[in-house]
Structure 1
Amino acid sequence: MLCFTRQDPRVLEELGDLNPLRLANPSPQPGRERLRHLVIGSPEGVRATINLLHVLRYADQATWSQLITIPEPGILITPEQGEVFSLLRRDRPVD
């Protein structure tokens, strides 16, 4: 389950026992825009994608967070006002 909502505390009240995971989002450097990338899949698939992005020189492996297990109720994403998102779904071969 993915929920995309504005930051409204009433939404969390409606969701009951859902205790969303909050990640630090420090301000970007001046003259830069903050983009957030999510890779969701099996641990092997996420690691393989992080490694590929490193090989392509897009993102250093050390800049990614540790792997975070998605809890049973799912995740809640709260964008900043005016932000948009695009979702890419892609299959990868499994060994």
Structure 2
Amino acid sequence: MITQSFLSSVEDPNPPGQNQASDNTVPQREPLKHLLIGSSKAVTSTIHYLEVIGYAQVGDWSKLLPTGNPGEFMSILSRQILVQ
């Protein structure tokens, strides 16, 4: 189920009481997903703007996918980011 998958990914992998000091000093890569939802024009325009400012290339995004709502589309970008 989508809700369970989403909630399970939010849980803290380090329960309280564990020494987290060493985890905070070494940057680690973690997956991050960006989701754009809007009209096809708004989503496409935003994707192109993010390329212009150097954040992500147009080809890094998924193709436009309908959301099920009339005139609404989404596109997803998955990245690995450094987290300290």
Output the TM-score relative to the length of structure 2: 0.50
Where is the strand percentage greater, Structure 1 or Structure 2? Answer: 2
Larger relative contact order, structure 1 or 2 (CA cutoff 8 Å, min sep 6): 1
Where is the helix percentage greater, Structure 1 or Structure 2? Answer: 2
Output the TM-score relative to the length of structure 1: 0.44
Larger radius of gyration: 2
